[in-house]
Amino acid sequence: MADIIRLLSDTVANQIAAGEVIQRPSSAVKEMLENAVDAGASRIELILLDAGKTLIQVVDNGNGMSETDARMCFERHATSKLRSIDDLFTLFTMGFRGEALASIASVAQVELKSRRREEEVGTRVVVEGGNFISQDVCAYQEGTSISVKNLFYNVPARRNFLKSNQVETRHVQEEFIRIALSNPHVHFSLHHNESQIFDLKEGNYRQRITALFGNNYKERLVPVEEDTSVVKVEGYIGKPEFSRKNRGEQYFFVNNRFIKDSYLHHAVSSAFDSVMSKDSYASYWLKLRIDPAMIDVNIHPTKTEIKFQHERDVYAILKAAVKRALGKYSVAPSLDFENEPSFDLPLSKLNDVPVQPQIRVNPNYNPFHLEKSTGIHPNEHAVNRQHSPAFKAYSPTDIKTWLETNRDMPSQQSFLKEKIEDGPVVELLNVFETLDDFRFVQVAPKSALAAFNRGFVIFDIPGARERMSYERYLNAFSRQQLNSQQQLFPPQIQLTPNDFLLVRELSDDLRKMGFDISEFGQNTIVLHGVPAGLDAGTEEQILQRLLEQYRLNKDKLQLSMHENLARSIARSIILREQANYSSRELRQLAIDLLHCDQPFYGVNGQSILRYVRSDQMNDLLQNKLGF
């Protein structure tokens, strides 16, 4: 009898391997995007037709391939990333098996175009069903484009196994999101059947998350950071109150590779145990950095599983890191200095306004005893701020001098030292609430500043007032209706027909906010009561502005009714004229702000409170922080 064992042809071997590596369009997408990242691209486009069943094209501006490489890359075990088995343990690239392109090419019609920077012309290679078709010279931009057409066209059994376009699109999108998350410095875009689904400009991790999941995530993220000799953990967790009823936003990246790991997942979710109900899921976007020698990513061809050498340590560290982040946040979120590029300190505007120094600095000045002694700002004595003179801004020189004189205040209270672990909110509240003569100055029409031995804070006054009102009114809908202050002589207000209808439509919610309104004939209402705490004489105007703002937001933004109402009234309240504030008022404002859920950001996501610790102060005084 003849021998029956034969070596498989490469084509068949590749098709078998393809079954393992390429199960559906999303697997090809993953491999191709990773290759583009590995090629050092800063811009990567993914173009799909019919969920990738008809076309998957990835265009990158990376290193490109030489004529030989462009052909070689379709060979099995052809890789530029791994030479010996030892390299496996020092590897930070995504690919390394050299299997992906060979597998993809064996089950699709593939066209590759590529040019390296140093080359004048590009090269074009066509491979179909694992068979080399052609290679020629072509004009092409720097980088690589790979088009994969009709995936599984030659393996009908597999093609039939594909799910609906909707399902396959979801898979593709998920892969895209994972890779976009692990590479926030790369500009990614995704087009599907001619429409653009994502266009993600390069940015930091936080910006990438919000670009992918929505702008409202800005306020939902709590930073996590832990650096140990075993593992470095960084990233974000979602605040418990935004946890979801279904699984979803749970991302682990180990050395920038997305992984699924139920053990690590358990570490995170158990850290959430005490702050979340059992039927909801925590969201997280965590990146672990580990010495590649301490992990083995080689255990599954699609590489979403990983083996850790110090599994228990990693578990413990991860859990502790998340707990700590939650602990800080449960009092309030911690300060994120790596902020959005639009970060705009109101104070920086001072640079444009050259103002003569007005204030003589008192060398004996001590911010811990003041109010009674020599003020450094005339505003202190402005009792009736409506009639006080126009506000005079401090010049940058004044501020520097002021900070320099006040920075080395001896610590009045030893507890200030002990509390350093508590996160900025608790730390600041401790100082402001305990020392009741703690001194604030208004350094610009909209900015207030206070310094103490550990640094200084600066906050945006209208931004703070808006944030406080917003949270207060928003709570009025979900928790407790606000008190209404009855008017002695309830005014009649004539509204436009539209506003009249709007008041009618919103009447229940206006009542919860503290507006007690009745209708009085055509387009006229009577204002019996107003939210307690509004400045006397401004109520009517505030209601009118509230309606106007509500209408405006409705056209511009997609907000829920309550969100819109809370934003509108907060905005109406701060539209009042500029005022000068006394130190006492500013201190109270700062304390109220720190009691907000989100003291660091304004209603529109802008930064409104900044705490600069003394170790960062030197940079600041040398103009390095943008002042």
d(CA 69, CA 30): 21
**Closest residue to bound ligand ADP by CB:** 95
Task: Locate the DSSP E strands across 50-203.
Answer: 55-60, 109-115, 122-128, 131-138, 143-149, 187-192, 195-200
Report the residue number, 143 or 396, with the smaller CB distance to ligand ADP: 143
What is the rounded distance in angstroms from the CA atom of residue 443 to the CA atom of residue 376? 11
36 scored as a contact of ligand ADP (CB under 6 A): yes
The pattern of x and - marking residues 460 through 499 that bind ligand ADP according to CB under 6 A reads ----------------------------------------
Q: Which string of x and - marks every residue 273-312 that binds ligand ADP (by CB under 6 A)?
A: ----------------------------------------
Interface region with ligand ADP, contact rule CB under 6 A, candidates 61-69, 127-135, 293-301, 602-610: 61-69
Sign of the C-alpha dihedral computed for residues 567, 570, 573 and 578 taken in this order = negative
Strands 250-254 and 284-289: parallel
Q: 62 touches which of ligand ADP, Mg ion, none (CB within 5 to 8 A by kind)?
A: ligand ADP
Sign (positive or negative) of CA dihedral 14, 174, 200, 191: positive
Pick the closer one to Mg ion by CB: 38 or 471: 38
Minimal distance, residue 44 CB to ligand ADP, in Å? 9
Give the phi and the psi of residue 529 in degrees, each rounded to 5. -145, 155
Tokens of 547: 């309606």
Interface with ligand ADP (CB under 6 A), residue total 24
Binding site for Mg ion (CB under 5 A): 35, 95, 100
CA 315/CA 151 separation, integer angstroms: 40
- Of the pair 34, 398, the CB lying nearest Mg ion is at 34
Tokens of 623: 């103009």
> Which amino acid type is present at position 61?
N
- Give me the count of residues in the chain: 627
What residue 97 binds from ligand ADP, Mg ion, none (CB within 5 to 8 A, per partner kind)?
ligand ADP
In angstroms, what is the minimal distance from the CB of 593 to Mg ion? 50
Q: Taking the CA of residue 310 as centre, how many other CA atoms within 13 Å lie in the half-sphere pointing to its CB?
A: 14
The stretch near ligand ADP (CB under 6 A) out of 73-81, 225-233, 272-280, 406-414 is: 73-81
Separation of alpha carbons 397 and 186, rounded Å: 40
Applying CB under 6 A, does 324 fall inside the site for ligand ADP?
no
Q: Considering the complex, state which of residue 104 and residue 286 has its C-beta at the smaller distance from ligand ADP.
A: 104
From the CB of 147, what's the least distance to ligand ADP, in Å?
A: 12
- Using the minimum distance from each CB to Mg ion, give the nearer residue, 175 or 398: 175
The stretch among 59-67, 163-171, 411-419, 504-512 that binds ligand ADP (CB under 6 A) is: 59-67
Instruction: State the nearest-atom distance from the C-beta of 106 to Mg ion, in Å.
Output: 15
Q: Is 331 exposed, middle or buried (0-12, 13-18, 19+ CB in 10 A)?
A: middle
| Token pair listed for 544 | 């009118």
Site string for ligand ADP, 141-160 (x = CB under 6 A): ---x----------------
Among 14, 63, 484, 580, which residue sits at the site for ligand ADP (rule: CB under 6 A)?
Answer: 63
Question: Between the CA of residue 213 and those of 198, 208, 424, 439, 604, what are the distances in Å?
Answer: 11, 9, 27, 41, 17
H/E/C letters for each residue in 534-569?
CCCCCHHHHHHHHHHHHHHHHHHCCCCHHHHHHHHH
What type of residue sits at position 86? Answer: D
Minimum CB distance to Mg ion, residue 299 (Å): 17
Q: Which is nearer to Mg ion, 146 or 318 (CB)?
A: 146
Going by the DSSP 8-state scheme, the letter that residue 445 receives in this structure is: T
Q: Considering only 16-24, 33-41, 290-298, 379-387, which stretch makes contact with ligand ADP by CB under 6 A?
A: 33-41
Chain centroid offset of residue 275 CA:
22
Cα separation, 142 vs 117, in Å, equals 6
Q: Say which entry of ligand ADP, Mg ion, none residue 39 contacts (CB below 5 to 8 A, set by partner kind).
A: ligand ADP
- The least CB distance from residue 47 to Mg ion, in Å, is 19
Query: Is the Cβ of residue 101 or residue 593 nearer to ligand ADP in the bound state?
Result: 101
Q: Which residues of this protein are in contact with ligand ADP, per CB under 6 A?
A: 31, 35-36, 39, 60, 62-65, 69, 73, 78-81, 95-102, 144
